[in-house]
């Protein structure tokens, strides 16, 4: 029988906390009690418009879908129990709104890449600040370049009282009945100076960004206000419920996984592979592929997003029964490994290579071996991410959790543990909405790490087999060498990967066997 963690005195045992999540494909609401039990969950679909590098959504559907999801989730819950909520959204998604909060533009989504020219301007004007903050440069999909694009192309941007909103800002405005500050997590990609906690006015003056356009910003976990009567009627959330400043979706999933101890990491294997960790210091990346959010207290949350991941399986095995094929793959003895690149736009983490393309080392004999090569390739990219993070000074020796759809494949999670040579945990509930429910609970006066301890269930632990780690290490090093041979990976990273491999217990096990 699993012993439940103690609930801090500040957390009322009968309280219900709401986590709201705006993803790419759906809007979601979960209701969670103070012990972490998910009492209800509901979602509504979202639709997108894609054209070339452009990706837009109608902001009104965010509110409509989320309001409907909240009504469903709360239909069987006593309203007197609901105490607080927090919301996450996709990182870098923005829009312009008028002085009443009505959208003036579509939502430019997190991966909208139209602002390449504006990114060059932002990087020229803000080079010193971006360097100080550790990420060194902005990508076209970041919020500030897209804001510059809107200022260049949208006539509405010249109107009186126009506001920049990050995706959750539209929702918190409507929940409160008036504009409230943005959270620093969503403001990061708009150029907010996380270390000095202010907008970099000199940079924005050079870029001709009006100060009146920008929202006030506060730290995640701060109280924004309470739910107004009109929002209560629309959503079913009781009037007076506390609204807590949230975080981006990746950070929300990290909280939901409980990965907030120093050196802890959450590896999210979805369409792509996303890393979020916890550091006592700001991690500055010379390569510019890792950037930091502010975490609870004085911590920082370094992270990076690969263009490799589980999405490759849908492309390579579109009609396969993946469960049955995984069962066959688990028994194969092939050392073939694939570079599992999902995006046609190259790689972005743990190295930046716009011209990177998929490849396979070895010769898989059948579909099961070919699947195994891709499962193994994701694990190798994951190990390379940790080698790179260690190289740039990020702490990586804390607990590791695996979340995302890929973590549901038990064999794949075990393979990842073996390739990494370290224990992993697969939490019971680790979605962004749950993380936001945990953050909402801090409105009761409890610290976020105490809320995590009470509400996050750590789930199954998977231990690596040193013999299998030793088997996969040479395959991993050959994979790294191939990336370098193709000109995508720097030799310094290769050398560090080899040095860490020599210190790995699995490598030592292989050396003992060879003797």
Evaluate whether residue 3 is within a structural domain: no
Return d(Cα 364, Cα 337) in angstroms, integer: 9
SS3 content of the chain, % helix, strand, coil (to 5): 40, 20, 40
Q: Answer left, alpha or beta for residue 159, where phi above 0 means left and psi between -120 and 50 means alpha.
A: beta
Confidence of residue 511 (pLDDT cuts 50, 70, 90): very low
Q: Which residues pair with 292 in a beta bridge?
A: 302
Model confidence pLDDT, tens digit, residues 387-426: 999 999 999 999 999 988 899 999 999 999 999 999 999 9
pLDDT at residue 2, as a whole number: 37
Across 205-225, average pLDDT: 96
> Domain residues for 302?
259-426+465-514
The answer as to whether 434 is a domain residue is no
Sign of CA dihedral 458, 460, 466, 469: negative
| Residue 377 clears pLDDT 50, i.e. is over it | yes
Condensed to tens digits (0 to 9), the pLDDT of residues 43-68 reads 999 999 999 999 999 999 999 999 99
* Residue 109 resides in a domain: yes
User: How high is the pLDDT of residue 508?
Assistant: 44
The three-state secondary structure class of 256 is helix
What mean pLDDT do residues 483-492 have? 97
Q: Is 306 found in the same domain as 174?
A: no
In a domain, 30, yes or no: yes
Domain boundary, last residue among 232, 250, 268: 250
Inside any domain, residue 450: no
Distance separating alpha carbons of residues 491 and 431, to the nearest angstrom: 36
- The reported pLDDT for the residue numbered 270 is 86
Distance between CA atoms of residues 473 and 479, nearest Å: 10
Residue 90 and residue 29 in one domain: yes
Q: Is the peptide bond before 149 cis (omega within 30 degrees of 0)?
A: no
Question: What pLDDT band is residue 3 in, cutting at 50, 70 and 90?
Answer: very low
Q: Are residues 87 and 149 in the same domain?
A: yes
Least confident of 169-173, 200-204, 502-506: 502-506
Identify whether residues 125 and 154 lie together within a single domain: yes
Average pLDDT of the segment spanning 74-99: 96
Average pLDDT over residues 340-353: 90
Question: Does 219 have pLDDT greater than 90?
Answer: yes
* Tens digit of each residue's pLDDT (9 = 90 or more) over 282-315: 999 999 899 999 887 789 999 998 999 999 999 9
Task: Please indicate, yes or no, whether residues 231 and 280 belong to a single structural domain of this protein.
Answer: no
With 80 as the cut, is the pLDDT of residue 494 above it?
A: yes
Q: What are the tokens at 409?
A: 């494949």
Which residue, 186, 216, 250, sits at the end of a domain? 250
pLDDT at position 446 is 93
100 with 60, same domain? yes
Give the model's confidence band at 111: pLDDT under 50 very low, under 70 low, under 90 confident, else very high: confident
What is the distance between the alpha carbons of residues 115 and 146, in angstroms, rounded to a whole number? 5
Distance CA 36, CA 53 (A): 40
435 belongs to a structural domain: no
Indicate whether 460 pLDDT > 90: no
One domain for residues 240 and 287: no
Are 177 and 270 within one domain? no
- Mean pLDDT is lowest, of 52-61, 264-273, 485-494, for 264-273
Q: What is the CATH number of the domain that holds 320?
A: 3.30.420.40
Task: Please write the tens of the pLDDT for every residue from 124-176.
Answer: 999 999 999 999 999 899 999 999 999 999 998 888 899 999 999 999 999 99
459 in any annotated domain:
no
User: What does the alpha-carbon distance between residue 200 and residue 217 come to, in Å, rounded to a whole number?
Assistant: 12
Q: Does one domain contain both 241 and 264?
A: no
- Give the model's confidence band at 1: pLDDT under 50 very low, under 70 low, under 90 confident, else very high: very low
Instruction: Give the chain's radius of gyration (CA, Å).
Output: 23
Contacts of 321 (CB under 8 A, 6+ apart): none
Structure tokens belonging to residue 34: 């103070």
**294 and 360 co-located in one domain:** yes
Percent of the chain clearing pLDDT 90 (strictly above): 83
Same domain, 182 and 151: yes
Token representation of residue 12: 């009322």
| pLDDT over threshold 60, residue 505 | no
User: What's the domain count of the chain?
Assistant: 2
In tens, the pLDDT along 5-46 reads 556 667 998 999 999 999 888 999 999 999 999 999 999 999
In angstroms, how far is CA 388 from the centroid of its own chain? 18
Show which of 190, 215, 250 is a domain's final residue.
250
115 & 242 share domain:
yes
Asked if residue 438 belongs to a domain, the reply is: no
């Amino acid at each position: 029988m699993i012993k439940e963690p103690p609930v801090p005195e500040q957390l009322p045992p009968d309280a219900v906390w709401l986590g709201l999540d705006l993803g790419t494909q759906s809007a979601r609401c979960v209701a969670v009690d103070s012990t972490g039990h998910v009492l209800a969950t509901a979602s509504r679909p979202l639709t997108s418009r894609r054209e070339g590098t452009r990706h837009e959504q109608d902001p009104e559907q965010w509110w409509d879908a989320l309001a409907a999801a909240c009504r469903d989730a709360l239909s069987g819950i006593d309203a007197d129990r609901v105490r607080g909520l927090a919301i996450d959204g996709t990182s870098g998604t923005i829009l312009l709104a008028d002085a009443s909060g009505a959208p003036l533009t579509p939502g430019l989504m997190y991966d909208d890449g139209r602002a390449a020219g504006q990114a060059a301007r932002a990087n020229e004007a803000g080079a010193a600040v971006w360097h100080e903050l550790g990420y060194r440069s902005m990508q076209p999909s970041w919020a500030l370049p897209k804001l510059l694009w809107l200022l260049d192309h949208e006539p509405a941007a010249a109107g009186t009282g126009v506001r920049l909103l990050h995706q959750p800002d539209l929702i918190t405005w409507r929940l409160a009945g008036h504009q409230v500050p943005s959270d620093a997590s969503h403001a990061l990609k708009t150029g907010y100076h996380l270390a000095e906690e202010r907008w970099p006015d000199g940079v924005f003056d050079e870029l001709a960004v009006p100060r009146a356009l920008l929202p006030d910003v506060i730290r995640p976990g701060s109280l924004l206000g309470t739910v107004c009567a009109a929002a209560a009627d629309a959503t079913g959330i009781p009037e007076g419920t506390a609204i807590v400043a949230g975080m981006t979706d990746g950070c929300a999933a990290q909280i939901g996984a409980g990965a907030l101890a120093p050196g802890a990491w959450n590896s999210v294997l979805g369409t792509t592979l996303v890393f979020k960790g916890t550091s006592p210091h700001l991690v500055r990346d010379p390569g510019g592929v890792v950037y930091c959010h502010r975490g609870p207290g004085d911590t920082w949350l370094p992270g990076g997003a690969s263009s490799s991941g589980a999405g490759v399986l849908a492309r390579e095995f579109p009609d396969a029964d993946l469960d049955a094929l995984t069962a066959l793959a688990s028994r194969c003895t092939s050392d073939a490994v694939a570079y599992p690149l999902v995006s046609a736009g190259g790689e972005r983490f743990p190295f930046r290579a716009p011209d990177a393309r998929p490849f396979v080392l070895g010769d898989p004999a059948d579909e099961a071996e070919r699947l195994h090569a891709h499962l193994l390739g994701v694990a190798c990219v994951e190990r390379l991410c940790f080698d790179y993070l260690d190289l740039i000074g990020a702490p990586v020796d804390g607990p590791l959790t695996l979340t995302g759809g890929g973590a549901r494949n038990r064999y794949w999670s075990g393979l990842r543990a073996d390739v990494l040579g370290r224990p992993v945990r697969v939490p019971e509930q680790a979605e962004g909405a749950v993380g936001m429910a945990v953050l909402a609970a801090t409105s009761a006066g409890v610290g976020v790490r105490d809320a995590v301890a009470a509400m996050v269930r750590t789930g199954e632990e998977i231990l690596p087999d040193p013999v299998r780690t030793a088997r996969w290490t040479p395959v991993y090093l050959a994979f790294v060498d191939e990336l370098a041979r193709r000109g995508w990976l720097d030799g310094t990273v290769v050398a560090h990967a080899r040095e860490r491999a020599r210190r790995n217990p699995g490598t030592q096990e292989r050396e003992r066997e060879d003797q």
